Amino acid sequence: MTDKRQFTLALFYCQNIPESSLPERQALEEAYGPSLKLFPIPCTGRLEPLHLLRALEEFADAAYVIACPGGACRYFEGNLRARKRVGVAGDLISAIGLERERVGLVANEDGDPKPLATLAREVMDRVALLEPSPVLNKKDRQKGDPP
C-alpha cells in the first residue's frame, strides 16, 4: 500500500481474543493510524449485520470480524452466529454491487490461539487487494472519529 492510498479497515473483535486488552488495542491503533479502527465486543455473537453495513456506509473500506475458534466460544455458539450474520451482510452488499469480500470473519486457531495484533495483520493483508470503497467519498475519509 502506498502512502497516498487510503484504506480503512473496521475490525470487530471478541474481547476474549488473547492480548486484546485496552493498552494493546491502543498500541495497535497508534501503529496503524487511520488504516485500522478497532471495536471490541463481549462476544461476536452480539454482532449484527447492521454494524458491518453502517461501518461500510460511514467510513470503512472493509469491515471484518475476529472470532474465537469454533467450539471455543465462551457463550457457546456466538461465533457460529457471527459467521452467519457476516454471510447476510455479504449477500446484501453484493446485491448492491459491492464486493462480498469487503466483509468477512476470521476465526482464531484452535489449540494455538494468536494474539489480536497477529490476527489484525492477517486481515489487513487479506483486504489489501481491495480497491478503496466506491461508497466513500473524500468528505467521508476526512471525517473525524466514526460514530
Partner 1 sequence: MITAEQKPIEEIREMIGPYKRVLVVGCGSCVAECAAGGEKETGMLASALRMAAKMEGREVLIEEITLDRQCVKDFVIQLDEVIDQYDAVLSLGCGAGVQAVAEMYPELPIIPALNTEFLGETRDQGLWVENCVGCGDCMLYFFGGICPLARCSKQLLNGPCGGSMDGRCEINPDLPCAWQLIIDRLERFDALDRLERIYPPKAWSKKQGRGPRKIIREDQQRVEV
Contacts with partner 1 by CB under 8 A lie at 48-50, 53-54, 56-57, 89, 92-93, 95-98, 134-137
In angstroms, give the least distance from the CB of 48 to partner 1: 6
| CB closer to partner 1 out of 31 and 50 | 50
Rounded CA-CA distance 6/126 in Å is 16
The amino acid occupying position 136 is L
| CB closer to partner 1 out of 24 and 140 | 140
Rounded CA-CA distance 71/80 in Å is 9
Helical H segments across the chain, by residue range: 22-32, 49-58, 78-95, 116-127, 138-142
| CB closer to partner 1 out of 62 and 136 | 136
In angstroms, give the least distance from the CB of 99 to partner 1: 12
Provide the 10 A C-beta neighbour count for residue 147: 7
| CB closer to partner 1 out of 29 and 57 | 57
The amino acid occupying position 44 is T
C-alpha cell at 22: 485496552
Enter the DSSP assignment of 110.
S
In angstroms, give the least distance from the CB of 94 to partner 1: 10
In angstroms, give the least distance from the CB of 126 to partner 1: 21
